[in-house]
């Protein structure tokens, strides 16, 4: 997941589709994000590379739509509904997730365990 200058960023991603639920006037997803290009990346507890300014999931509320959909704490969000999230400010990320006229957000997330899972599956002879 680390960024090598000049190389395209590649990651193994998982598609997660979260159905927003309505809570009064708001649509909530049930998780919290941290990070952004305007934030200090060294304070990110979840990132492997402490210069990574991506958007990470910092908290998933229990039983919320995000947890149900399979989002896990520590996930790095790569895309939301097709919009890139690797080079956005914190506020932009929040807005992309909280669009009022969208009921569904489709995320592409990546996490360390995914890579390992893929690697393991490739190594094991089928």
Partner 1 sequence: MLTIFEVASVQDTDIQKKIDYEIRIREGACKLLAACSQRDQALEASRSLLTCNARIMAYMSELQRMKEAQVMQRVARRSSDTGANDDRHPCKGKVAISDIRIPLMWKDTEYFKNKGELHRCAVFCLLQLGGEIFDTDMVMVDRTLTDICFENTIVFNEASPNFELRLELYSCCSEEDYSAGSTPRKLASKLSSSLGRSSGKKMRAAMDPGAGCPISSAGGGATLLLPVPSVAGPKYHLLAHATLRLPHVQDNFRTHDLTITGNEECSYWLPLYGSVCCRLAAQPHCMTEQMMSGALRVKLGGDPQGWTNVYGVLKGTNLFCYHRQEDVEASVEPVLTIAINKETRIRASERDPHSKAQSICISNRYGGEEVTHTLAADTREDTQRWMEAFWQQFYDMSQWKQCCDELMKIELPSPRKPAIVTPKQGSLYHEMVIDTSDDIGTVTDILTHRIEDFDLTSGHGTTPAWMSLFDESPRSPQCPSRLSAHSPGPSPSPGRFRGRRPRSPRSPRCRRTPGLLSSEISLTSDSDSPCSTSPCSHHHGWSETPSSSSSSRFRPRTLSLDAKLTSLRGRGYSSVQRSCQMATSVAAVPRPTQTVLSSSSSTSSNSSSEGGQDAAFSRPSIARRSLRNLRAKLDPRNWLQSQV
| Integer CA distances (angstroms), 81 to 18, 26, 46, in order | 11, 19, 23
Rounded distance between C-alpha atoms, residue 44 and residue 39, angstroms: 9
Rounded distance between C-alpha atoms, residue 111 and residue 104, angstroms: 22
The correct pick among 59, 103, 115, 116 for binding partner 1 (CB under 8 A) is: 59
The answer to the question of residue 90 lying near partner 1 (CB under 8 A) is: yes
The answer to the question of residue 79 lying near partner 1 (CB under 8 A) is: no
- Give the CA diameter of the chain: 52
**Measuring CA to CA, which residue among 44, 116, 99, 102 is closest to residue 76?**
44
The answer to the question of residue 2 lying near partner 1 (CB under 8 A) is: no
Nearer to partner 1, 11 or 39 (CB): 39
**3-state secondary structure (DSSP) of residue 69:** helix
Binding-site size, partner 1 (CB under 8 A): 32
The answer to the question of residue 51 lying near partner 1 (CB under 8 A) is: no
The correct pick among 48, 49, 91, 103 for binding partner 1 (CB under 8 A) is: 91
User: Token digits for 50?
Assistant: 């402490």
The answer to the question of residue 94 lying near partner 1 (CB under 8 A) is: yes
Segment lying near partner 1 (by CB under 8 A), choices 1-9, 79-87, 112-120: 79-87
Q: Give contact residues for partner 1 (rule: CB under 8 A).
A: 25, 28-29, 31-36, 39-40, 43-44, 58-59, 81-83, 88-95, 97-102
């Amino acid at each position: 997941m680390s960024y090598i200058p000049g190389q395209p960023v590649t990651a193994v991603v998982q598609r997660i589709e979260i159905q927003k639920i309505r809570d009064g006037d708001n649509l909530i997803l049930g998780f919290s994000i941290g990070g952004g290009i305007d934030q200090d990346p060294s304070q990110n507890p979840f990132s492997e590379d402490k210069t990574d300014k991506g958007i990470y999931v910092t908290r998933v509320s229990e039983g919320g739509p995000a947890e149900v959909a399979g989002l896990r704490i520590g996930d790095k969000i790569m895309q939301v509904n097709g919009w890139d999230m690797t080079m956005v400010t914190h506020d932009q990320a929040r807005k992309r997730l909280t669009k009022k006229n969208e009921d569904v957000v489709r995320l592409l997330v990546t996490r360390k365990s995914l890579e390992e899972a893929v690697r393991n599956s490739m190594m094991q002879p089928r």
